[in-house]
Amino acid sequence: MKNFKELPSVPCHDGIQYIYKAENGYGASIVQHQFSYGGRDGLWELAVIDHDGDICYSTPITSDVVGHLTDEEVNKLLEQIDAL
């Protein structure tokens, strides 16, 4: 199973952001900060991104960002992104 916390991270709005890039051209932005869905509760928000780094709103995974995620839920979504 993947562990997104092993990815490089950068500061983001007094929180943290991880960027995942899959071999298929998709990826994910994973954030936790005061403005993210669930960030104030220690949970994560994930957006599927395309090969240009833009949010992709047309995948079977989601048509928007996904918030209020646990670490395990983020890792499972990364596996789904790999399968796109």
Q: What is the pLDDT of residues 18-37, one digit of tens each?
A: 999 999 999 999 999 999 99
d(CA 40, CA 25): 31
Contact between 39 and 13 (Cβ < 8 Å)? no
Number of neighbouring beta carbons within 10 Å of residue 2: 16
Number of neighbouring beta carbons within 10 Å of residue 49: 20
Extents of the domains making up the chain: 4-82
Residues 45/55/29/78 CA torsion (nearest 10 deg):
90
d(CA 1, CA 23): 16
Q: Convert the pLDDT of each residue in 35-47 to its tens digit.
A: 999 999 999 999 9
pTM across the whole model: 0.95
Confidence of residue 1 (pLDDT cuts 50, 70, 90): low
